[in-house]
Structures are given as structure tokens and as C-alpha cells.
Chains A and B, each alone.
Chain A
Amino acid sequence: MHRVLTTCCFCACGCNLYLEVDDGKLVGVIPSREHPVSRGNLCIKGWNSFEFVLHKDRLRFPLIRKNGRLEKAQWSEALDLTAAKLTQIKDKYGPDALGILSSAKCTNEENYLLMKFARAVLKTNNVDHCARLCHSSSVIGLNHAFGSGAMTNSITELAGAELILVTGSNTTEQHPQIARFIFDALERGAKLIVIDPRRIQLSRFAHVYLQPRLGTDVIWLKGMMKIIFEEKLYDDSFIRMRTENFDAFSKDLENFDLEYVEKVCGIPLEGLRRAARLYASVKRAMIIYSMGITQHISGTDNVESIANLAMLTGHVEQEFTGVGPLRGQNNVQGACDMGALPGTLSGYQDVADNDVRKKFKNLWKTELPASPGLTSIEMFDGKRIHGMFIMGENPAMSHPDINKIRAVLKEMEFLVVSDIFLTETAEYADVVLPAASFAEKDGTFTSTERRIQRVRMAIPPVGSSRPDWQIVCELSKRMNYPMEYDSPAEIMEEIALLTPIYGGVFYNRLEDEWGLFWPCPDKEHPGTPFLHKGSFARGKGHFECIDYRPPAELPDSEYPFYLTTGRMYQHWLTGSMSMRIITLVREMPEGIVEINPADAKSLGVESGEPVRVISRRGTVKVKAHITDDVPKKSVFMPFHFKETPANILTSTAFDPRAKIPEFKVCAVRIEKVQ
């Protein structure tokens, strides 16, 4: 038996663990004790992450659709066909008829190559990935305010904060290791504020807990700032020296009426006052937020409001302070960094910028398209895209209103999917390419704290599967643009050349000290655990005046309940991995809808009984779970389960700037199943 140190493939905490290999098989997992985040333990998913890798359902050979059925094929056949079809569509409709979905599950190197493939080979900027669905509003909002869209500080700093404000993040369930640092901080006497429409586990430890109505975050944030402003608790010198647009912003605050807090959010003003005073009165305060903030049509507004709050009190630019958008997927930070986004090349370099394009062109030796491409939401409008390459994503489960998405996938002229299992999306494909899992390849992941870490191959690829970076190289070669790399390390060398924030990232440097924090501009640079030291990345921090916009779809007499969706601790996104891990399935075998006891009573529903959840877009039959963790007239559904897919119900309304769908609010009706 031997052990291989690698990075966990589930969430973006970025735990390091040892995969135990015996006779070519994965037989166990050991957490790293020295790793600053894992600290000798993993969550239930990490502890069981070895199990799905050798599952019998793994795709072991390519599949090609013949006479309506997916049939076993040779690699050469599948690759030739894919290259020919992509070329054909490009020639027929132009490059922008092609769409590429990259993957936050794949390595940085793979994301980089796939975005290069889209731009240099296919000549389109239509490349995106699931960050669109989770934190695109953070990237845009924080970039606008601070000049960088990532977590400003590192995870371990949480333990040293005097106050932590958690909002829209069910941290214990989604980022267990981060919650562990919050518990550490509490142990040392830190204060905790939790503001969340669902009563989450952390709220039981909060010094102030507020339960605002869904989709009203801009109001309570503004209220909090107004209180801080009125009571003169803001950091005057910080505002003067480090920020801009405060005059307009303060006028806007003056005009804001605190009455809205109780009226719109439904929370007591006194509670908010306590929260505001607590937050403003300490030196070291951190804000942690996640999809409860971002997945709204006002997602970017929410994020900018949070940035305003941090700047108003000077809680940025220092150790133990800052704003922490908790990214979900193991490498969603990295996939964004690598430019798997329609508007930016790697390192958030604007694709519309001539100088930037020139730099890439010099190295890539080909012309690049200039106008920003389509987002992963727009790609499914059923009009513009005729051919798609989807790497390791499952929009047929993860996107809003999946009935519509599935119809589009079905109509797609040519769809190629590379994945480790035959996902709901792959079932619509014309070609399915078997990919290697995280345990079967080398590469890097970038965790939510911007820590770039190694992924190491523990076993050879299962069956005839191949790592995605090799698949991309093979396709590219067939489309007359040879990409020749011996290893992911060589790809990283190219990334470093073109990407200033990764400029000093080389594999040999990743061996010690548990990776590097970007920005790391050159070989001597030690990396940057917290951002904006001394000044913001964009120069001055920008205060944005923000007006409240209610969610796109509110309950009415026909659909009287709010539906909010999210994840559960035991499962992972669309379940293709976690539903193949015995211990996890046993923990949570099927989907549920959480209903408040009062509503359950008036519906006449008992816990465990099936109900029908109906929205304007569809119906899902699912078991009721009665709990007062959800407020009255609101229900919660996890979206992991293919038998009870919450995304049949969700609305396609999206944030106009970030194009992030409003997964967190839509209106439904609940019916008891007779």
C-alpha cells in the first residue's frame, strides 16, 4: 500500500489528503495533519472521496450516438468525429455558433487549455463554466469595488478575527473547514453575527441572529450602513485615503429610510442596530458570504453592498478582516482565474483589450476573437448555439428551469460531453468522451482562499479514460492547431508567462508550504495571503450607490410560497459523484422539501409524506421534511437529486450584470399528494 498526497475534489476549502492505494485500487483516505486547512480531519465527503473513483458506472470507453443510441466506440473515431463536426458547424454558422462549457471540477491546466481551445482554435469567446451559477456576481461586484473578485483574506485568518458576519452561507454544511475556524474564533471570544433566511446551524452560536425575508439583502445591508453612518461609527480616515465616491454614497444613505428594514426584510431594527454596532466597533471583522447573497437578480448589488459595508468601517486591507465570498467547487476559483469566462482571458485580462490580445496572440501564434462571448445561461437560449463541447458539467441538472435546458440540449445539432459518468447531460450527447477523475491525473486546483495546490495522480486512468487536458490536445491537433504538452507542469509554465497573477507559479514551488496564494507575480514572490494591502487592487475602493430591487418572482395567490434552493452537507451538486458513495447515500438517500411546521399543519402534511411542489415551470414530487429552520411561507429544496430535481422549478430570471440566475427565490405552490 502507498499513499499519494493530493487535494480534495469536492469543495473549495481545499483540504489536502492522502489517497491510499493498494494493488492499483483506492482503498482509503487519510487527512493531512500539517495542512493548515485540513488539520487532520475532513468532512464526510472528503473522508469518502475515494469511493466513487472506481465505481462500476465510470465511463470506460468513448460513446458515439448511432441510430439514436450511445454505442461503444474507439477513441480515434470519437475524436475524429468531434473535430469534424465542430469544424463543420463553425464553417456553416460561424465560430460563435459554438459554445464551450469548461469545468470547475477540472484542473487549472485543463481550464486554461479548454479556454485556449475555444479562443485560438474555435475562434469564439463563448466559453463559460458553472461560476456563472454561483459567484459570477462576486467576481463582478468585488472587482468593481476592490479590483479583484476573490476572497480578500485567507481561511486561517478567521480564527483571529474579533467578529465574523456570516450571511447567505450555510458554512457548517457547505464549507465545514471554514466553520471549524469560526468555532475556533468563538472559542477565543470572537463575536458572531448570522443573517440568513434559513436558521442554519451557526445561528445557534450567534450573538446576533436575524432572519430577513428572501431577496431583501440590499435593504438590511443599507440599513446597517445607515446606522453606522448616523452613529458615526465609520472609519473616516480609511474612507478619505483609500476610497472614492463616498460623498454620493453618503447622500444616498441619508435618503434611505430605516423603516424599510422592518417593513421589507421583516427583521427588528433593534437587532440590526446591535449587529451594526458590533460590526463597526471592532478592529478585526470579517464578512463571510456565499450563494445566499449571489444567486439573486440583485446578486451584484448585494455583493457591492457588502463591499460598501467593509469599506465604510475600514475592514479591508488588513489581516483578519476583509470580505470572503466562499466559492463552492474545488476549483471554481481556478476556473475563473484561468479565463474560462466569456469576457476575460486568464488572470482576468479583458478579452476586448487590444494589448492583452496581442500578448496572447504572440504566444499562441494565432488571431483571437475580440468581442466578449455568451454566458452559460445565454448559450441555452436555443437560438444562437448549434454545437457544444461540455467538459465535466451537468447543465441538465444544474441550470434553472431544466426542462427548457433539456429541450435545447436535445435539439442541439452536435453535443460532445466529456465526463467521468454518464450524466443527465451526457445522455443527450452525440459523442461522450470518458475523462479521468481527480485521482488519475496531475494538475492544480485553486481553493477559495486563492491557494494554488497540487493534484497528484494516484492511479492510472480507469478503463481507457483520459485526463481532459489530453482530450483537448487531441482535438486541437485534429483541428490543425497542435497543442503539445508533456505534462500539466508544462502547461502551467505557459500560464505563468501569460498570467501576471500566476507569474511565479511553478510546480516545484508548489511542493512545499502547501501551495501558493495568488497574486504571485514572479519566481521570488512569496504569494499573497491577503489582498489590497496598502491600497486596493484597482487603486481606490469604489463606493457604489445601490437601490433595492425585489426578486423577479414573488409569491402570489396562485403560488403562495417562496422556494429557495441550495445544497446539503452530504451531497455534491448534481450528485453524479456523491450519489455513488455508499456512506453519503445512506446519510441522505433522497431529496426533500423543507416546510415550516405551521405551513405543514395547514397543508395537512406530515414529515416524510410526499408533496407536489409546483412552479410556473414544472412540478416535482418530493418528501416533506418539517422543520422550523425555514420560516413560514418559505420552502427549501436541495438540487442534488435526479429523481426530485429542484431545478425543474427554478426561475430563469437573472442578474443583468453578472447573468447569474435567481436560484434563491421563486414562487411555488405546495400540494399534498393524496
Chain B
Amino acid sequence: MEDRLILSKEHLKSFLRKISKRHELIAPVKNSSGDTLLEAIPSLDEVTLDLKSKPVMPAKNFFLPRSEVLFKYQRKGKQYSFDEVLDDTPRILFGLRSCDLWGILFLDMIFQENFKDRYYLNRRINTVLINIGCNEPMENCFCRSTKSGPFLTHGYDLQLTDLGDKFFVEIGRPRGRELVEEWNYFFSPATKKDREHQYEMILEAESRFHQIVDMNTAISRFMNDEIDERIWDELGNRCQNCGGCAYVCPTCYCFNIVDMPLSENAGERKRIHDSCTFTGFTRLAGGYNPRHEKKRRIRRRFYHKLYYENKKHRRPSCVGCGRCVEICFGRVDMINFIKMVCERGERSLRESSLRLGEILIEAGLLNREELKNALERQASTGESLGTQLIKEGLITREGVARALGYQLKIPENAGTGGSDGK
């Protein structure tokens, strides 16, 4: 069977009806209050599918529920008995946004890298993922900047593109192929024109983003330890500790494990979503100190999402869904944060460059003309002035260091050429 197919819109419901016979079908539904939620669909005729907007909560809740019972325990005399609760319902998640699907792929990695999480994986291996590309990115979406949308190149079982009166269907993983092969009579091969049409859709969608954020600069600021400390104070003051940003994030996976007694002799071990913005998240005992820690908690959140994950998995764990942007009480969100970091970084970079330039001129290592030119070039490279001058061979590390009277924080590999001073 071809990898690219066409499903006419009038066949969508019939196809979904077929595939929901052996699977629980989960799809985005717009309810009468106007909220779009991913819902288990008992009957397709009673709901309004919403394939245009982003559900309030990400798909992660189907694999890592907000609260779940891991096992039940019972005590008879001195004997304990345990009863593990595993969910292996076969499911199809249909109509996912690309960012949400990408989020699941990220969680797949997390939940099996050190330790295979049975509860998660059991659900996951029984699930088929079908996403639909976003022709119209929404107000706060920035998945283009995080390279996790609006269309995916891999990772899905099936990916749909809305071509007006029909869907362009791409087959990804084998599970998708199986489905399509089983119900092949709904599909016809895509023509060259369809392919071109789809390609145009992708290009157009990419040009329609309202939000473009500079992830790379933000990440490099983290790497180089160049984040203006005041940002944490500011954000810490604005955070209201709701936990929402973690709850709605497709890639936040922290949980808390608790035992809930149900009676004297029985109970449940549960896990519930947790948030790194909570005071109690890392506090072990005693000390309550909300204000003091809030900025540190916010710092940890962004460090984790942009730096640690990036270091470990070569990609930040933000998939650009924009949910935290929509919901934060105090605009302590990813877009705002990255903007702050980029803008502040530039300003402080410039300020420190000027300061360094003055020192070097005073030490006779540089003249004003050279400084001016160097600063101009620096604007395009974004490097710190010292590193830039060394790379260009205008001065040496030692020269700078001597001029400043202490060892500068300049990477060793930032060029060694040039004579000793000038």
C-alpha cells in the first residue's frame, strides 16, 4: 500500500466508526460550552469533533493520568495482599495536534530510559496515535520554533492534512499501516496534485505563526550562563504557584506517589501529577519559605525544560504548544521567558562589552576605532566581545586577563592566535 493516501471527508466518520469497534476512540470534542476536550467517544453521532483547535489538556493525561491507582492493598491479620491496577485498554487517539503527539514521543523516552514504567508503557503500547497537521496555527502556538510542528515528519502512526474536502493521509509507524490496510476501502492513493497541495499547505501554515521565539539564543544563554539573574526575581514575584503550567504541559512528567488509606485495613497507592513550581516539590521537612524559594523554583522549571533536557536529550522539552502562555496567572510562561532572556541578554551583553572595551582601550590594547568595528561585527555574531576579539586575533586571552587583573570566563578554544598585546 502507498504511504500517502486520500480519505474523503464524508468517509471520516465511517472510518472512525470502524476503528472504534476494537479500540476506545479518543478525539477532540467541542462541547456545548465551547470547550474542546479530548474525550472518549461512545457514539460519533452525538458529538462535534473539533479538528481545528487545541484541546484544553494535552494527550499526556491518557498515559499519565492526573491521578491513578497503581495498586490496591489489603491487610488480613498480619498479611498484606496487593492488587496491581494496569490499564491495557486498546485506544486510538485521533486528531491530536502535532505538538501533543511530539510531547508523547518525548515522554516515551523519559518513561523507559532508566527504568521502564509499566503503568505508562502498558497504556502506550496499546495506543495508536493519529495527528492532524495545523493549517492555522493558533494565537500562542510556536511549535515551528521548537521544531515539533505544525506538521511532523515522523513519529505518528497516521498523520492527516486537511485539504478542504478531503484529508491527505500519511502512514508513519506500522500500527497506522495496519489500520489503513484493514479498512483500505475508505482510502484512495494520493495523486501528484494532492501531494503538491499538501506541500503548499505546510508552507503556508509555517508562514502563519503569530509567535516566533528564538529557542536557540535562549538555550545558548543557558549554556553560557548568561541569564540575567534579575529575571528570576521578576518571574518569581509574578508566579502564583498554581501548578497550572506543569499540569497543562505535554512534556511535564513529575508525579508524587502517595498512599491513600480507604479504611483501617485497605488502601490504594496512587500517583498524582506534581508541579516543580510547588513549595513542597523538593522540600523535605520543616522550612516554609515561599517568597525566598519561588524564584528558585521558577528557575528550576526553565532550566529543566530548556537546559537539562537539552543537554541530556539534545532537545528542549518544550514542544511549543503555547498552553502555559494562555493560562499563566502572571505571564511566567515560555514565550515571555524566552523573550526576556533574549532581550535582556542582548542588553547586558552590550553593556558588558562596552565596559570591557573601555578597559582594553585604557590598557592600550585596543583603540577606539577598532572597538567600534569590533562591536559592529559582534552584533551579528552575538559572541561576547572578549571571545570575539580573541577569535579575530586582535588580542590574546592573557592580554585580556591581564588588563582586567583577573581570569576572564572565556572558553579555552576561543582562538589562540595573535601577539601578546598590541
B contact residues around A187 at 8 Å (CB): 331
0/1 string, A620-631, CB within 8 A of B gives 1:
000101010100
The answer to the question of B260 belonging to the interface, with a C-beta cut-off of 8 Å to chain A, is yes
Which of A27, A42, A51 is the one whose CB lies under 8 Å from B242? A42
The reply to whether B262 and A47 form a contact with Cβ atoms under 8 Å apart is no
Q: Is B327 a contact of A569 with CB atoms below 8 Å?
A: no
Contact with A along B218-249 (1 / 0, CB 8 A): 00000000000000000001101111100110
The residue that A5 contacts in the complex, of B33, B61, B326, B330, with Cβ under 8 A, is B33
Across-interface contacts of B248 in A (CB, < 8 A)? 40-41
A41 adjacent to B244 (CB under 8 Å): yes
Tell whether, in the assembled complex, residue A608 and residue B260 are in contact, meaning their CB atoms are under 8 Å apart.
Answer: no
Cβ of B274: which chain A residues have Cβ within 8 Å of it?
A: 583
- Residue among B36, B260, B274 with most chain A CB within 10 A: B260
A152, B255: Cα distance in complex, Å: 42
Question: Are A569 and B328 in contact (CB-based, < 8 A)?
Answer: no
- Docked-complex contact A28 and B330, CB < 8 angstroms: no
Interface residues of A in 4-47 (CB under 8 A from B): 5, 16, 18, 20, 27-35, 39-44, 47
Q: Which of A34, A50, A172, A592 contacts B240 (CB 8 A)?
A: A172
Residues of B contacting A66 in the complex (Cβ-Cβ under 8 angstroms) = none
> Once bound together, how far apart are the Cα atoms of A179 and B328, in whole Å?
11
Q: What per-residue 1/0 map shows which CB atoms of B54-71 lie under 8 Å from chain A?
A: 001100010001111000
Contact call B288/A34, Cβ cutoff below 8 A: no
Most buried by B among A5, A44, A511: A44
The verdict on A283 contacting chain B, using a C-beta distance below 8 Å, is: no
The answer to whether the Cβ of A251 comes within 8 Å of any Cβ in the partner chain is no
Query: With A3-B37, A44-B278 known to touch, is A511 a contact of B32 (CB < 8 Å)?
Result: yes
Q: How large is the interface on B (under 10, 10 to 19, 20 to 34, 35 or more residues)?
A: 35 or more
Judging by beta carbons under 8 Å apart, are B242 and A176 in contact? Answer: yes
Taking a contact as CB atoms under 8 Å apart, the answer to whether A44 and B243 are in contact is yes
- Chain A positions within 8 Å of B237 at CB level: 201, 204-205
Report the bound CA distance from A201 to B236 in whole Å.
Answer: 10
Does any Cβ of B come within 8 Å of A56's Cβ? yes
- When the two chains form their complex, are residues B40 and A179 in contact, meaning their CB atoms are under 8 A apart? no
Residues 282 to 296 of chain B near chain A (Cβ within 8 Å): 286-289, 291
Q: Is residue B191 contacting chain A, with contact meaning CB distance below 8 A? A: no
**A56 cross-chain contacts in B, Cβ below 8 A:** 260-263
**Distance to closest chain B CB from A126 (angstroms):** 40
Choose from B65, B291, B331 the contact partner of A627 (Cβ within 8 Å).
B291
Cβ of A588 within 8 Å of any chain B Cβ, yes or no, is yes
Quick one: given A56-B262, A183-B329, are A1 and B272 in contact (CB under 8 Å)?
no
Interface membership of A607, Cβ < 8 A: yes
With both chains docked as a complex, state the minimum distance between the C-beta of B65 and any C-beta of chain A, in angstroms.
6
- In the complex where A183-B329, A183-B330 touch, is A587 in contact with B280 (Cβ < 8 A)? yes
CB pair B242 A44 closer than 8 Å: yes
CB <8 Å contact, B33 and A34: yes
B83 to chain A, nearest CB (A): 15
Residues of A within 8 A of B67 (CB): 27-28, 50-51
* With known contacts A43-B240, A176-B242, A583–B262 Cβ distance under 8 A: no
Residues of A within 8 A of B56 (CB): 30-33, 40
Smallest CB separation, B406 vs chain A (Å): 35
Given contacts A34-B35, A625-B288, contact A587 B240 (CB under 8 A): no
Closest Cβ of chain A: how far from B265's Cβ, in Å?
11
Task: Tell me if B258 is interfacial: C-beta within 8 Å of chain A.
Answer: yes
Q: Which A residues touch B238, using CB under 8 A?
A: 183
B280–A47 touching, CB < 8 Å: no
Most buried by A among B31, B39, B280, B286: B280
Q: Determine if B287 and A27 form an interchain contact, defined as CB atoms under 8 angstroms apart.
A: no
- A34 vs B30: C-alpha distance in the bound complex, in angstroms? 11
Chain A nearest CB from B242 CB (Å) reads 5
User: Inside 8 A of B57's CB, which chain A residues have their CB?
Assistant: 30
Contacts of A27 in B (CB 8 A): 65-68
The listed residue with most A CB atoms (<10 A of its CB), out of B35, B66, B244, B248, is B35
Residues of B within 8 A of A177 (CB): 329
Q: How far is the CA of A35 from the CA of B33 in the complex (A)?
A: 8
- For B288, give its contact among A43, A514, A592 (CB under 8 Å): A592
Q: How far is the CA of A204 from the CA of B242 in the complex (A)?
A: 19
A540, CB-defined interface residue at 8 Å: no
- Which residues 277-311 in B have Cβ within 8 Å of A in the complex? 278-280, 286-289, 291
CB-CB under 8 A from B40, the residues of chain A are 1-2
Task: Judge whether B244 and A47 touch: CB under 8 Å.
Answer: yes
B256 within 8 Å of A (CB atoms)? yes
Docked pose: A2 CA to B57 CA in angstroms: 14
How many Å lie between the Cα of A234 and that of B82 in the bound state? 73
Q: Which residue of A lies closest to B61 (CB)?
A: A28
B291 contacts which chain A residues (CB < 8 A)? 627, 629
Interface check A92, CB cutoff 8 A: no
Q: Are B242's CB and A47's CB within 8 A?
A: yes
Distance to closest chain B CB from A591 (angstroms): 10
Chain A hits for B327, CB < 8 A: 31, 39-41
Q: Which of A647-674 contact B (CB under 8 A)?
A: none
With A and B bound together, what is the CA distance between A50 and B65 in angstroms?
14
Q: From residue B45, how far is it (CB to closest CB) to chain A in Å?
A: 17
Minimal Cβ-Cβ distance residue in B for A181: B329
**Complex Cα spacing A34 to B55, Å:** 12
Min Cβ gap B230→A in Å is 13
Min Cβ gap B380→A in Å is: 32
Instruction: Give the docked Cα–Cα distance between A39 and B331 (Å).
Output: 13
CB distance from A633 to the nearest CB of B (A): 21
- Asked if A582 meets B258 with Cβ closer than 8 Å, knowing A29-B66, A40-B327, the reply is yes
Query: Other than the known A40-B326, A512-B32, what 20 A-B pairs have Cβ atoms closer than 8 Å?
Result: A28-B61, A28-B65, A28-B66, A33-B36, A34-B34, A40-B56, A41-B329, A176-B242, A180-B330, A183-B238, A183-B329, A187-B331, A201-B240, A205-B237, A569-B240, A582-B256, A583-B278, A586-B278, A588-B279, A607-B287
Chain B residues engaging chain A, CB cutoff 8 angstroms:
31-37, 39-40, 56-57, 61, 65-68, 237-238, 240-244, 247-248, 256, 258, 260-263, 272, 274, 278-280, 286-289, 291, 323, 326-331
Binding site for B on A (CB under 8 A): 1-3, 5, 16, 18, 20, 27-35, 39-44, 47, 50-51, 56, 172, 176-177, 179-180, 183, 187, 201, 204-205, 511-512, 514, 569, 582-583, 586-588, 592, 607-608, 623, 625, 627, 629
Across chains A and B, which 4 residue pairs bring their CB atoms closest together, nearest first? A28-B66, A586-B280, A41-B327, A34-B34
Can you spell out 9 A-B residue pairs with CB atoms less than 8 angstroms apart?
A16-B33, A18-B35, A35-B33, A41-B327, A42-B242, A183-B329, A586-B256, A588-B288, A625-B288
